[in-house]
Homo-oligomer: A and B are copies of this chain.
Amino acid sequence: MMDERKQRILQAIIDDYISSAEPVGSRTIARKYDLGVSPATIRNEMADLEMLGYLEQIHTSSGRIPSSKGYRFYVDGLLPQQPLSDKEKVLIDKWYQARVKRIEEVFQETARIISRVTKNVSLVLAPQLTQAAFRCLQFLPLDARRAIAVLMTDAGFVENKIIAIPSGAAFEDFQRMARVINQCLAGQTLDAIHPDTLQRIRDEIMDEELYEAALEVIYRSLDTEKKERLYLGGTTQLLNQPEFHDVEKVKEILLMLEEEQLLKDILHAHLGEGLSVTIGCENKYSGIQDCSIVTATYHLDGELLGTIAVLGPTRMEYGKAMTLLGYMNNHLADIIKKFRW
């Protein structure tokens, strides 16, 4: 049914379509790819492949284009190996070294790299603070009525917030409280602080108002940060793709790219799946049914940190996207480690 030759032809058609963006005909395949058969034979095979659902035809007497099912088969078995060249790896390294000074910049630059290499839109979902472990909380005096609370996490994030000192409380009380909190929360993940721990803190602080103020710091700091950050890269790359020569299509997808929550949801759907490819109509969201998404989740010491992804037309260089994401996956852990204490 799907013999060796059919596969080779399917592969040739998809390869050709990916690079040309034009419906491909039997003669083209016969000429460019050395399959040792005539166009007529290829035509027969193409008709079969269409019957099987791997190819589509815009109209009779046009060439064939791959269907989502076709791409799926291609991605699952026919992908040409194209490992990252050493030169590319070095370039990526240099890029990070030159541009990343602080952990927050890692993600933006990662997005840049991915979109540059793949010539498509990239998405990077940065780790949630809530998954990070509490490191320490400190208060700094500002004036008689205010202090700055600085919260640090294991992942290297530092978050600060100006808070009011409750009337009657001295700054020393804050110092004492900080000691208590640091003792109790050391190493805990922020989104799952046990009620018992909170109770212990409360007991030790022995001042309701102070306790409330401290909690507010932790929770508000957590609140502003807990929505993980999404970084986008290369949105203008879309405009180079012939499938987006129509402004309406561009508008549709650019508007979608502005809906941060939607994008996060899409990435979340693949969280923890390792390297995953979603092709065309496999996408649940109607705006991107002629796009594909390649996602990869990255880890650090076994802990799930976030997701990186490539979004492009179904006619995408899957091999390149997948090898790149695979590489960045590992690399990202190393980079982040540098900022970890």
Residues of B contacting A140 with CB < 8 Å?
136, 138, 140, 150
Residues of B contacting A258 with CB < 8 Å?
236
**Contact across chains for B142 and A148 when beta carbons are under 8 A apart:** no
**Contact across chains for B152 and A150 when beta carbons are under 8 A apart:** no
Q: Name which of A70-78, A196-204, A245-253 contacts chain B.
A: A245-253
**Contact across chains for A152 and B148 when beta carbons are under 8 A apart:** yes
Give the total of A residues in contact with B, Cβ under 8 Å. 31
The one of B160, B161, B246, B254 in contact with A236, judged by C-beta atoms closer than 8 angstroms, is: B254
Query: Within 8 Å of chain B (Cβ to Cβ): is A84?
Result: no
Query: Within 8 Å of chain B (Cβ to Cβ): is A224?
Result: yes
Contact with B along A324-341 (1 / 0, CB 8 A): 000000000000000001
Query: Within 8 Å of chain B (Cβ to Cβ): is A255?
Result: yes
**Contact across chains for A150 and B160 when beta carbons are under 8 A apart:** yes
Contact with B along A159-198 (1 / 0, CB 8 A): 0111000000000000000000000000000000000000
How far, in angstroms, from A162 to B240 measured CA to CA in the complex? 42
**Contact across chains for A148 and B150 when beta carbons are under 8 A apart:** yes
**Contact across chains for B142 and A341 when beta carbons are under 8 A apart:** yes
Residues of B contacting A251 with CB < 8 Å?
236, 239-240
**Contact A250-B255, Cβ < 8 Å, known A138-B140, A160-B158, A341-B142:** no
Query: Within 8 Å of chain B (Cβ to Cβ): is A320?
Result: no
Number of copies: 2
Query: Within 8 Å of chain B (Cβ to Cβ): is A264?
Result: no
Query: Within 8 Å of chain B (Cβ to Cβ): is A33?
Result: no
Q: Which residue of B lies closest to A101 (CB)?
A: B224
- Interface residues of chain A: helix, strand, loop or mixed (majority): mixed
The one of B102, B136, B158, B250 in contact with A250, judged by C-beta atoms closer than 8 angstroms, is: B250
A220-276 contacts to B (CB < 8 Å): 224, 235-236, 239-240, 244-247, 250-251, 254-255, 258
Residues of B contacting A102 with CB < 8 Å?
161, 224
How far, in angstroms, from A90 to B141 measured CA to CA in the complex? 36
Query: Within 8 Å of chain B (Cβ to Cβ): is A143?
Result: yes
Query: Within 8 Å of chain B (Cβ to Cβ): is A146?
Result: yes
How far, in angstroms, from A20 to B276 measured CA to CA in the complex? 47
The one of B138, B162, B250 in contact with A239, judged by C-beta atoms closer than 8 angstroms, is: B250
Contact with B along A121-139 (1 / 0, CB 8 A): 0000000000000001010
How far, in angstroms, from A138 to B246 measured CA to CA in the complex? 55
Residues of B contacting A341 with CB < 8 Å?
142-143, 146, 162
Identify the 7 closest CB pairs spanning chains A and B, nearest first. Answer: A239-B251, A138-B140, A236-B254, A158-B160, A245-B247, A236-B255, A239-B247
Known: A160-B160, A244-B247. 18 other contacts (CB 8 A): A136-B140, A136-B142, A138-B140, A140-B140, A142-B152, A142-B341, A143-B341, A150-B150, A156-B162, A158-B162, A236-B251, A236-B254, A239-B250, A239-B251, A240-B251, A245-B247, A247-B247, A250-B250
A-B contact pairs, 6 of them (CB 8 A): A160-B160, A236-B251, A239-B250, A240-B251, A244-B247, A247-B250
